[in-house]
Amino acid sequence: MPDRLWLSLATMGGEERRFVQEAFDTNWVVPLGPNVTGFEEDLKRFLGQDKPVTALCSGTAALHLALIQCGVTRDDEVICQSFTFAASANPIAYLGAVPVFVDSERETWNMSPLLLEEAIQDRIAKIGRAPKAIVGVDLYGMPAQWDQIGAVADRYGIPVIEDAAEALGSELNGRKCGTFGRFGVLSFNGNKIITTSGGGALVCPNDDAARKTVFLATQARDPAPHYEHSEIGYNYRLSNVCAGIGRGQMLALDGFVRRRREIHALYAERLADVRGISVKEAPAPNHALNYWLTTVLVGEESAGHGPRTDDGAARKRERLRLALDAENIESRPLWKPMHLQPVFSDAPFYGNRTSETLFEQGLCLPSGAGMTASDIDRVCDIIRKVVP
C-alpha cells in the first residue's frame, strides 16, 4: 500500500528551526519576545493596509476577542455564516450571545449578501434590535463578496468580522483577505496554509484596538506595580517559540500559495473531462484564491451550473470518499452547515438549501504544498475509476 496522502499536511520552509533556536539561545521561551513582535510585523507587511496584527494562541481566540471588542455580550444576536467550521460560531456562544445563521451564495460558497440583509431586517422586526456583529468567512480560501456584505453591514451600522482562517494569501480585487472587516481572523493551526503548530492572529483596525487585544489576551492587567484588574481577561497570547515557527513559515508563504495554486490547476486539468465531477474555481479573476484546499462537487455536469438536488448526491460523494480511503488517500466532505449541527439546533437560520446541497455534493481533495504531480495522478486515477 502506498503512503497515506493527507488532506493538508504542514510543510516546513527551512528557516523555522533557526528562529526557534534563537528563542532558546536568548532565553525567550515565554509568551512574548522578539519572535512574537517579528511575526506580527511580518503579517502586517504581508497583508498591507497598515493594519496592526496581534499574535494569539488560536484563530478561535482571535474571534473571541474580536466579538468582545464589537461589544457583544449576553443575549445579543450575532450573524454568522452557516457554511463554516464550528470555530466561527463557538465564540459567540462563549459570550452567552445567540448565533443567527445565514446561508451562502453559489458563486463563492460564502455568505449571501441578500440573505444577510433579509436576516437583519427580520431580526429587527422580531426582537426590535439589530444584530451586534456579522461573522463572514473566506471558506477554502475563497474571498467572500466583501463589497456587498460591507455595504449591507454599513446600512445598519453593524461591524463585520472577517474569518480569514483559511484564506491567508488570498486576495479580492488585489487586496489581501483578513483586511476586509473591522477585525480579521487568521489561524496557524497544523492544517492551515501556514502553521505555528497551533496559533492565530487578530488583524485590528488601529493601534488602540491592537493594544486592547494584547491587554485582553494577557489577563487584562491594569497599569500598577501589583496585579490590578478591572476587566475579565484571557490567556490567549502566542508563545515566542511558536512565533519562531511562524517567522520561518512567513518566508515560505508565497511559495506555499504558488504550490497550492499549481496543485489546484493540476486537478482541474486532469479532471476536466470527467463529467461527474466539477472542480471549484474562482467565480471571476478578481477573486484570487490561495487554494488552501482543492474542492470538487460530485454529480455535477460542469462548473457554473446550479445545484441538482438529488437524494443520491451524498451517496455518490460518500462512495468516492470511501474509494479514495481504500487506496490510503484522505479526503473529507465539505463543512457541515452550522444550522444542521445538533449543538446549534435552536439557532435562527436564514437560507435556501445552498449550503445543504454543497455539503451533500462536495469533497475536499488532498492539497498539501508537499504533494507531487504523481500524487495528484494517484488521486485522479481513482476518481476516474469511480466517477463516470
Ligand X SMILES: *Cc1c(COP(=O)(O)O)cnc(C)c1O
Contact window for ligand X (CB under 6 A) among 58-66, 120-128, 317-325, 343-351: 58-66
Pairing verdict, β 277-279 and 294-298:
antiparallel
* Shortest separation between residue 53's beta carbon and ligand X, angstroms: 14
At 184, list the grid cell.
480579521
CB 345 within 8 A of CB 22: no
Under the binding rule (CB under 6 A), the answer on residue 239 touching ligand X is no
Under the binding rule (CB under 6 A), the answer on residue 166 touching ligand X is yes
- The site for ligand X, by CB under 6 A, has a size of 14
Q: Which residue is nearest to ligand X (CB)?
A: 59
In the chain, the N- to C-terminal Cα span, in Å, equals 25
Distance of CA 263 to the CA centre of its chain: 19
CA distances in angstroms from 329 to 142, 260, 271, 291, 365, listed in the order given: 24, 17, 17, 19, 9
* Shortest separation between residue 163's beta carbon and ligand X, angstroms: 5
* Shortest separation between residue 133's beta carbon and ligand X, angstroms: 15
Other Cβ atoms within 10 Å of 267 Cβ, number: 24
Instruction: Determine the Cα–Cα distance for residues 194 and 8; give it in Å rounded to an integer.
Output: 11
Under the binding rule (CB under 6 A), the answer on residue 87 touching ligand X is yes
- Of 200, 148, 193, 203, the closest CA to residue 170 belongs to 193
For residues 90 and 218, which CB has a smaller minimum distance to ligand X in the complex?
Answer: 90
Under the binding rule (CB under 6 A), the answer on residue 165 touching ligand X is yes
Which residue in the set 59, 113, 178, 184 belongs to the binding site for ligand X (CB under 6 A)?
59
Which residue in the set 85, 101, 109, 183 belongs to the binding site for ligand X (CB under 6 A)?
85
Under the binding rule (CB under 6 A), the answer on residue 213 touching ligand X is no
170 φ, ψ to 5°?
-80, 155
- Of 18, 12, 64, 379, the closest CA to residue 216 belongs to 64
* Shortest separation between residue 137's beta carbon and ligand X, angstroms: 5
Footprint (CB under 6 A) of ligand X, residues 135-164: 137, 163
* Shortest separation between residue 185's beta carbon and ligand X, angstroms: 7
3-state secondary structure of 139: helix
* Shortest separation between residue 7's beta carbon and ligand X, angstroms: 12
| Residue ranges in contact with ligand X by CB under 6 A | 58-60, 84-85, 87-88, 137, 163, 165-166, 187, 189, 200
